[in-house]
Amino acid sequence: MKFFIDTANLAQIKEAHALGVLDGVTTNPSLMAKEGITGKNSILKHYVEICNLVDGDVSAEVNALDFDGMVKEGEELADLHDQIVVKLPMTKEGVMAAKYFSDKGIKTNVTLVFSAGQALLAAKAGATYVSPFIGRLDDISTDGLALIEEIRLIYDNYGYETQILAASVRHTMHIVNCAKIGADVITGPLSAIHGLLKHPLTDIGLAQFVADFEKGNK
């Protein structure tokens, strides 16, 4: 399973990379705005900075809503760096653009996916990644993990190579449960990844080892 971090914050990306388990980064227009990254040049420069910090795929989202605009923006993004994945919304135009880019061998991530039918369309269009938003489904009393299970079943039935990128991951148990179901990738905050480290018995055991070592090595 791949771990992506879902942020445009360079310090957090560096910290996740330093742990040695980071496989890529996802961003979206809200995450860029949160970091105060506005204006075309600053946005493009920021994507390059992110690519230079990590080894894997970096999803950069188009802002255009029409097909021609998505193609123009996506081509500009893809030209920035070979780690860039063009992120496209799950709309009719987004699906058409995913097909356009996949035919050209450019990686895509179809985002804002909330149903198995949408995920099926993204795979048919040849998307590299499909991003079902599990946290946002949980927020409205709908089982986000059940959607991952449905998509896994459909993709396995037909051998689709589109990778299931479980997005809107909010906490550590989302990661563990996505791993059980067979999501290919998760993207979430650094705190959710750090949560995997924690167990009170590890802390108690380590404190004991340290105390015993110090007793015998005074």
Residues 108 and 131: their CA atoms lie apart, in Å, by 11
Give me the phi and psi of 163, to 5 degrees please. -85, 135
- Of 2, 34, 87, 180, the active-site residue reads 87
Closest CB 61 distance from ligand E4P, rounded Å = 8
Backbone angles phi, psi at 24, to 5 degrees: 170, -175
- Is residue 93 near ligand E4P by the rule CB under 6 A? no
Binding of ligand E4P at residue 167 (CB under 6 A)? yes
Q: Of the candidates 72, 42, 78, which has an alpha carbon nearest to the alpha carbon of residue 60?
A: 78
- Compute the least distance from the CB of residue 84 to ligand E4P, in Å: 14
Q: Are 109 and 129 within 8 A, CB to CB?
A: yes
* 128 lines the binding site for ligand E4P (CB under 6 A): no
CA distances to 53, 55, 136, 216 from 49, rounded to whole Å, are: 6, 12, 29, 49
73 near ligand E4P, rule: CB under 6 A: no
Contact, 138 vs 144, CB < 8 A? yes
Give the residue, chosen from 83, 108, 118, 168, that forms a contact with ligand E4P under the rule CB under 6 A.
Answer: 168
- Smallest CA-to-CA distance from 188 within 1, 43, 42 is with 1
**Cβ distance to ligand E4P smaller for residue 26 or 201:** 26
Stretch touching ligand E4P by CB under 6 A, among 13-21, 129-137, 140-148, 198-206: 129-137
Task: Quote the CA–CA distance of 204 and 202 in Å, as a whole number.
Answer: 6
111 is a site residue for ligand E4P (CB under 6 A): yes
Pick the closer one to ligand E4P by CB: 91 or 199. 91
Residue 87 designated active-site: yes
Phi, psi for 84 (deg, rounded to 5): -75, 135
Cα distances (Å, whole numbers) of residue 127 to 96, 137, 157: 10, 22, 17
Stretch that binds ligand E4P, among 68-76, 99-107, 132-140, 206-214 (CB under 6 A): 132-140
78 three-class SS: helix
Q: Which is nearer to ligand E4P, 108 or 111 (CB)?
A: 111
Question: Which lies closer to ligand E4P via its Cβ, residue 99 or residue 171?
Answer: 171
Question: How many residues sit in the footprint of ligand E4P (CB under 6 A)?
Answer: 11
Instruction: Write out the residues near ligand E4P by the rule CB under 6 A.
Output: 6, 26, 28, 111, 131, 133, 135-136, 167-168, 187
Instruction: Give catalytic residue positions.
Output: 87
